[in-house]
Amino acid sequence: MVADESALAEVVAAFAAGRGPVAVDAERASGYRYGQRAYLVQLRREGAGTALIDPVACPDLSALGEALSGVEWVLHAATQDLPCLREIGMVPTRLFDTELAGRLAGFPRVGLGAMVENVLGFLLEKGHSAVDWSTRPLPEPWLRYAALDVELLVDLRDALEKELDRQGKLDWAWQEFDAIASAPPPEPRKDPWRRTSGMHKVRRRRQMAVVRELWQTRDRIARRRDVSPGKVLPDAAIVEAALAMPANPHALAALNGFGQRVGRRQLEQWQAAVDRAKALSEDRLPQPGQPVTGPPPPRAWADKDPAAAARLSAARAGVTELAEALNMPAENLITPDTVRRVCWEPPSPPTPESVAAALTAHGARAWQVEQVTPVLVTALSAESARGA
């Protein structure tokens, strides 16, 4: 474990002098700690070997990020690790995502272990993927497991590059990788409390306010204690309290999730959140549903706009058929959201040029536009003719 500045400086120098792509991985403590910060960073590069870095002891890895600027980074499921790597100063300018490459190449199982086994013929050691990586010191078997995650990543990348080239998809893959590398950090989610598991059971605005108050109270406690919010109070308990609207701590204690392990002081804290929601004036209660940007949920299309529903059905069928012919998941051929948006507000008339422009405006890559435009033109034109 690299856990001090002098050791880190040696790693920076070694990896700057290395050759070829660099394999990168990060371990988080999801389910144990608050947020998605990295608790271990693993790297491997020819000429430099493997390094395991402790980002708790070395929280600023920007010097390492700068040393690897311009070098191709190889990650598996890059979008999962890039946010926590960005927090510690590591941002790639070029990358190769072996999971996404596997999807584009048509592999049915794209987890790292399955890919290494199917493509390279090796079995990776399993068993530590869900451990608490914030543990210190990290046990030696965990470190070995973490090192293995980058041991064969460049070999896997090279094999997948050849396979994608054989299938005529390599340029498509590079367009996807470039889009990931150049994407800005995601915007903070609006009203994250609305994503509480089981929220669909909560119908009334006053009950929704209880969910919001409990969620926000839990979030403050979890952040202060640096623990996963679910360990402070499960989502199911929040929803149950919102539906029951308990009148006092005694009634709250009778609900699942608030019973034996919750002390009197904690019960009063949760009850205070419930009481705050009960005391809100009507104009301060949350509105049902989130403000919708773009088309409504597809299940509502048949009632709102039957022609749009027919367009969407035809487009989905066409995209699915094309994805099967190309041997890749339909959502990697084109995002379902893009298909919905184009079908809800189609260009008029739906020519190849206008449909291609619409797809591009919604963020589709050039290869996706080229492949999907004929399918959508056919679907939109058929429904236009039927409507006329």
pLDDT tens for 86-109 read 999 999 999 999 999 999 999 999
User: Considering Cα of 199, then 205, then 210, then 213, what sign does the dihedral take?
Assistant: positive
Domains (range + CATH), the chain: 5-182 (3.30.420.10), 192-279 (1.10.150.80), 298-382 (1.10.150.80)
What does the pLDDT look like over 252-274, one tens digit per residue?
Answer: 999 988 977 678 889 999 999 99
What pLDDT band is residue 34 in, cutting at 50, 70 and 90? very high
What pLDDT band is residue 382 in, cutting at 50, 70 and 90? confident
Q: State residue 294's pLDDT score.
A: 81
CA 182 to CA 175: how far, in whole Å?
A: 11
Q: Are strands 49-53 and 38-46 parallel, antiparallel or unpaired?
A: antiparallel
Q: State residue 384's pLDDT score.
A: 59
CA 379 to CA 350: how far, in whole Å?
A: 9
Q: State residue 289's pLDDT score.
A: 73
**Mean pLDDT of the residues in the chain:** 95
Secondary element (H or E) of residue 23: strand 19-28
**CA R_g for the chain:** 25
Angle at 273 between CA 272 and CA 276, to 5 degrees: 85
Q: State residue 244's pLDDT score.
A: 97
Portion of the chain with pLDDT greater than 70, in percent: 97
- Specify the DSSP class assigned to residue 124: P
pLDDT of 63 higher than 60: yes
pLDDT of 292 higher than 90: no
Q: Which residues contact 285 (CB under 8 A, 6 or more apart)?
A: 205, 206, 208, 209
For 186, phi and psi rounded to 5 degrees?
-65, 145
Contact criterion met (CB below 8 Å) for 153 and 43: no
Q: State residue 128's pLDDT score.
A: 79
User: What's this model's pTM, rounded to 2 decimal places?
Assistant: 0.91
Tokens of 361: 């405006």
CA 136 to CA 123: how far, in whole Å?
A: 28
Q: How many residues does the chain have?
A: 388
pLDDT of 39 higher than 90: yes
What pLDDT band is residue 387 in, cutting at 50, 70 and 90? low
Q: Which of 135-139, 188-192, 310-314 has the lowest mean pLDDT?
A: 188-192
What does the pLDDT look like over 317-376, one tens digit per residue?
Answer: 999 999 999 999 999 999 999 999 999 999 999 999 999 999 999 999 999 999 999 999
Identify residue 249 by its one-letter amino acid code: P
- Average pLDDT of the residues in 184-210: 94
Q: State residue 326's pLDDT score.
A: 98
CA 175 to CA 154: how far, in whole Å?
A: 19
Sole residue written with tokens 């405006």? 361
For 229, phi and psi rounded to 5 degrees?
-55, -35
